[in-house]
Amino acid sequence: AKRVYLFTEGNREDRDLLGGKGANLCEMTNLGLPVPFGFIITTPTCREFFENGNKLPNLLEQEYRVALDLVEKKMDARFGDPDNPLLFSVRSGAPISMPGMMNTILNLGLNDEIAEGLARKTDNPRFAYDSYRRFIQMFAEVVMSQDAHAFEKEIEHYKKDRGYATDMDMTAADWRAIVERFKAMADFPQDPFVQLRLAVEAVFLSWHTPRANVYREMNNIPDSLGTAVTVQSMVYGNFGDDSGSGVAFTRNPSTGENLFFGEFLFNAAGEDVVAGTRTPQPISALADKLPAVYDQLNETQALLERHYRDMQDIEFTVQEGRFYMLQTRSGKRTGRASVKIAVDMVRDGLINEKEALLRVSPDHVEAFLHPMVDPDAKTDIITTGLPASPGGATGAIVFSADEAVKVARDGTAVILVRRETTPEDIHGMKVAEGILTELGGMTSHAAVVARGMGVCAITGASGLSVDAEAGTATTKDGVTLKRGDIITLDGTAGEVMLGDIPKTEASSSDDFQTLLSWADKHRRLKVRANAETPEDAIRARELGAEGIGLCRTEHMFFDSDRIDLMRAMILAPDKKTRKSHLKKLQVFQQADIYALFKAMDGLPVTVRLLDPPLHEFLPHGEEETRALAGRLKLPVAEVHSAVTELSEVNPMLGFRGCRLSVVYPEITRMQVRAIIGAAIQATEDGYQPYPEIMIPLTVNVREIRLIGDIIDASIRRVLGEKSVSLRYKVGTMMETPRACLGADRLATAVEFMSFGTNDLTQMTYGFSRDDAGRFIPQYLDKKLIEHDPFISLDQRAVGRLMRLAVEESRAVNKGIKYGICGEHGGDPRSIQFCHELGLDYVSCSPYRVPVARVAAAQAHV
């Protein structure tokens, strides 16, 4: 296949083949913009190079020499000719932009003789030797892997010795002297064609520089893509005072404001702008000094934005008052800018609503919901973990929930640092600005609760060793954090930093609301929230939730005014005592559920029957057991033996879910009475409650029939003579492989199915979700899995079970409604999959609702 393309032979569609930079250089050439001519070696050639053991394919050099001849003709100069030299830049460029991650060499084709020729021909020796030293420096760094600092230092010393303040003081003779010193430091080939070949190889190799690898890892860019190599005729910003280089954005990349925004350096090569060695001037300086060039730049940027219909980030150079375009690409932008630009462009008729929706990423949406750590301000990352709950938070370290409450009381912001969290830590989690745990994955208690509360959290920070007793947390590198130390969490990236790092404010905007309204218009999937408290439900509704997809009733029993009642019920010696406790618990449960119906007036509320093993409600330690016995007026030994008796070897696969209903039907009766009682009460108060009763952890249809009978009987009893007509449904959670494989039978007994993908993933893989944090990072590292299956739904196996369940159950019972309520319900990739599967709704934490609305729309447009 053809490996080399001239700039006239490609266009913007050729990103995969020519890399983004190359494809856009072709496109700009086609548009008639002043682009220095050149050619591109394709990305498949890069893959060939690696497969070949890092050797260029045999015929490649012949092939690019043909292209090179044509470039020479067009430029009217010759590569390697001292009398009329043509120089090249050799530039990297992948299909997906990786700014600054790979290498570029400028001024290639210079040697002693040609540098002299260039000086002669241009009558500008200062420029010629400045260019030469730049070339040696870059070639030594990129091709010969030498330390660039050594060269910089050499220049620094030279200037110091002569009392020069800046590079501007350097004369032709000075640069010539520098060239001599550099030549002593780097023994580079004088033959331009050898230089070219080595440079092409070096650019291919730069695909695997550590920083490029890390960048791809972070941004989910496949390693297999490879980079193209662009070989382009040089133009010279360092030619003199009517020359220079600049970078510009067609709109402001941090605010989105529709104002051309850029920076320019006179008498400088492009690398000087990027390297930050000199401080550039605002673009207006160019307008003052070279107005004709500025006009051309301004026209070009407007043309490019109209042509690409997106905000562009451009690189350009001015040589002797002539303007040249060197790069254009879609500009990186902040979340706020992204939304503003998308909405503005729809208003201006540049793009339509659907395109606008596709321009906004989930991270962009997050920026409106949480304060975010300013990426430019990041320093001192001391450890990392899973990005469990987005946003940024700063506070003083505390090591227990009680301490959190105590310290937060006098207005101090706290970060709760734990090995892991349990339901008993809730009070501390509520007051914390952020939560950091050593253990646990994306579905650990800490992660789920923090997301629910919209509190920033990092879990599974396995490089951290937390010793709550000693009041220390130590990183692998030996940094020891103590109680009261100030740290900042970036829950969006999973990074822990020392000190108070600046953050951007969270606040909605009219543009954001406009975008969300478009999302609602263009999606089919409904979005519900997982919520137990009225505050969460109200919040969720404000954020656009269309009901509750999962109310975990167990959370309602942890509050201090009822937890002991719950425990007494569990420890009850006989059925009668248990029933009397249940009666009292019903009052709490009914009031809680009533509040949810009120908050979700008119919308469905899915209430899941009690799910966790009962021992989760009981105290663990000796002391707490004793205290409980005291409060319940029971013999300590009795409480103790009950606790021991209830404990399980493998609680996640143990006595939980609907198995509780089978053994303790009285608990289920109480819950149903509370749900229906609350619904009747709400109806009488003028609301429209819509309960959906959900049976957890089902494995077969007989369970559902048995529990369904209990539910029906309870409903009949509560409704009794009452003449209210209630709308309600009974359904099941699909979270065991067996439920999915037997969905055709389950379908005969339910009105809805909701995929509980946390458990379904756990049971499909046999990975305990509470322990997987220890090995999943290794699995990702070694590429045994593509994504953490607890974060992004495993479409291949778990997804296959879901598909089977939907197809087989629908064949039996057309009316079934399908939802998902695992943590995947808020993950954009998983939402896309759920859309394709034809589910009716996704349910996620309240703060994920806006993200899910946008993702659901993106899946549909």
Type of residue at 262: G
* Nearer Cβ to Mg ion (116/315): 315
Told to check if 89 binds ligand ADP by CB under 6 A, we report yes
* Nearer Cβ to ligand ADP (245/764): 245
Residues that contact ligand ADP, how many (by CB under 6 A): 18
234 interface partner picked from ligand ADP, Mg ion, none, CB below 5 to 8 A per type? ligand ADP
Told to check if 315 binds ligand ADP by CB under 6 A, we report yes
232 interface partner picked from Mg ion, ligand ADP, none, CB below 5 to 8 A per type? ligand ADP
How buried is residue 521: exposed, middle or buried, by Cβ count under 10 Å (0-12/13-18/19+)? exposed
83 is in an annotated binding site: no
Spatial distance between the Cα atoms of 810 and 751, rounded to a whole number of angstroms: 11
Which one of 43, 319, 327, 444 is in contact with Mg ion (CB under 5 A)?
Answer: 327
827 interface partner picked from ligand ADP, Mg ion, none, CB below 5 to 8 A per type? none
Q: CA of 556: how far to CAs of 585, 694, 700, in Å?
A: 10, 16, 28
DSSP state of 827: -
Which one of 10, 22, 117, 270 is in contact with ligand ADP (CB under 6 A)?
Answer: 270
DSSP state of 230: E
623 is in an annotated binding site: no
For residue 718, give both structure tokens: 């509560």
100 interface partner picked from ligand ADP, Mg ion, none, CB below 5 to 8 A per type? ligand ADP
* Nearer Cβ to Mg ion (207/597): 207
The residue range among 97-105, 166-174, 182-190, 426-434 that interacts with ligand ADP, by the rule CB under 6 A, is: 97-105
Told to check if 329 binds ligand ADP by CB under 6 A, we report no
* Nearer Cβ to Mg ion (441/756): 756
For residue 623, give both structure tokens: 């002391």
Told to check if 546 binds Mg ion by CB under 5 A, we report no
* Nearer Cβ to Mg ion (703/735): 735
Q: Measured in whole angstroms, how far is the alpha carbon of residue 720 from the centre of its chain?
A: 52
288 is in an annotated binding site: no
Q: Please give the full DSSP string across 494-561, using - where no structure is assigned.
A: TEEEES---EEPP---HHHHHHHHHHHHT--SEEEEE--SHHHHHHHHHTT--SEEEEEGGGGG-STT
Type of residue at 483: R
* Cβ-contact 43, 228 below 8 angstroms: yes
735 is in an annotated binding site: yes
Nearest in space to 382 (alpha carbons), one of 492, 491, 489, 504: 489
Q: Which residue is nearest to ligand ADP (CB)?
A: 270
* Nearer Cβ to ligand ADP (246/828): 246
Told to check if 443 binds Mg ion by CB under 5 A, we report no
Least distance in angstroms from the C-beta of 554 to Mg ion: 11
Of 364, 445, 522, 824, catalytic: 445
Spatial distance between the Cα atoms of 385 and 420, rounded to a whole number of angstroms: 13
The 231-250 site mask, x for binding ligand ADP (CB under 6 A), equals: -xxxx---------x-----
Helix pair 563-571, 575-599: axis angle to 10 deg? 150
Which one of 317, 530, 553, 668 is in contact with ligand ADP (CB under 6 A)?
Answer: 317
Told to check if 104 binds ligand ADP by CB under 6 A, we report yes
CA 281-282-283 angle, to 5 degrees, is 115
Least distance in angstroms from the C-beta of 92 to ligand ADP: 6
**Phi and psi at residue 322, in whole multiples of 5°?**
-105, 140
* Nearer Cβ to ligand ADP (109/819): 109
Least distance in angstroms from the C-beta of 212 to Mg ion: 14
677 interface partner picked from ligand ADP, Mg ion, none, CB below 5 to 8 A per type? none
Least distance in angstroms from the C-beta of 149 to Mg ion: 22
Least distance in angstroms from the C-beta of 490 to Mg ion: 27
821 labelled catalytic = yes
* Nearer Cβ to ligand ADP (16/624): 16
Report the relative pairing of strands 78-79 and 244-249 from DSSP bridges. Answer: unpaired
Sign of CA dihedral 313, 315, 320, 322: negative
Spatial distance between the Cα atoms of 356 and 256, rounded to a whole number of angstroms: 14
Of 26, 551, 821, 844, catalytic: 821
Least distance in angstroms from the C-beta of 228 to ligand ADP: 11
46 labelled catalytic = no
Spatial distance between the Cα atoms of 5 and 68, rounded to a whole number of angstroms: 10
* Nearer Cβ to ligand ADP (245/762): 245
> Which residues touch 653 (CB under 8 Å, ≥6 apart)?
763
757 is in an annotated binding site: yes
Spatial distance between the Cα atoms of 434 and 439, rounded to a whole number of angstroms: 15
The residue range among 100-108, 658-666, 824-832, 847-855 that interacts with ligand ADP, by the rule CB under 6 A, is: 100-108
Told to check if 271 binds ligand ADP by CB under 6 A, we report yes
Told to check if 91 binds ligand ADP by CB under 6 A, we report yes
DSSP state of 840: S
CA 63-65-67 angle, to 5 degrees, is 80
Spatial distance between the Cα atoms of 345 and 357, rounded to a whole number of angstroms: 11
Which one of 48, 495, 759, 823 is in contact with Mg ion (CB under 5 A)?
Answer: 759
The residue range among 239-247, 461-469, 733-741, 785-793 that interacts with Mg ion, by the rule CB under 5 A, is: 733-741
From first CA to last CA, the distance across the chain in angstroms is 35
138's enclosing H/E stretch is: helix 125-142
The residue range among 45-53, 133-141, 324-332, 826-834 that interacts with Mg ion, by the rule CB under 5 A, is: 324-332
Spatial distance between the Cα atoms of 726 and 723, rounded to a whole number of angstroms: 9
838 interface partner picked from ligand ADP, Mg ion, none, CB below 5 to 8 A per type? none
Told to check if 131 binds ligand ADP by CB under 6 A, we report no
Sign of CA dihedral 552, 557, 561, 563: negative
Told to check if 100 binds ligand ADP by CB under 6 A, we report yes
Told to check if 29 binds ligand ADP by CB under 6 A, we report no
341's enclosing H/E stretch is: helix 335-347
858 interface partner picked from ligand ADP, Mg ion, none, CB below 5 to 8 A per type? none
Length of the chain, please?
861
Tracing tokens 């920070």 back to the chain, one arrives at 461
Sign of CA dihedral 185, 186, 192, 196: negative
702 is in an annotated binding site: no
Told to check if 384 binds ligand ADP by CB under 6 A, we report no
Q: CA of 354: how far to CAs of 312, 510, 527, 856, in Å?
A: 20, 18, 19, 12
353 is in an annotated binding site: no
* Cβ-contact 345, 354 below 8 angstroms: no
Least distance in angstroms from the C-beta of 218 to ligand ADP: 17
Type of residue at 520: D
* Nearer Cβ to Mg ion (310/735): 735
Helices (H), 649-742: 658-663, 665-684, 701-719, 737-741
Spatial distance between the Cα atoms of 30 and 32, rounded to a whole number of angstroms: 5
756 interface partner picked from Mg ion, ligand ADP, none, CB below 5 to 8 A per type? Mg ion
Told to check if 272 binds Mg ion by CB under 5 A, we report no
* Nearer Cβ to Mg ion (366/759): 759
Told to check if 444 binds Mg ion by CB under 5 A, we report no
| Residues placed in the known binding site for Mg(2+) | 735, 759
| Residues placed in the known binding site for substrate | 552, 608, 735, 756-759
Residues with a catalytic annotation lie at: 445, 821
Q: Give me the residues that bind Mg ion (CB under 5 A), please.
A: 315, 327, 735, 756, 759
Q: Give me the residues that bind ligand ADP (CB under 6 A), please.
A: 36, 89, 91, 99-100, 104, 106, 232-235, 245, 270-271, 315, 317, 326-327
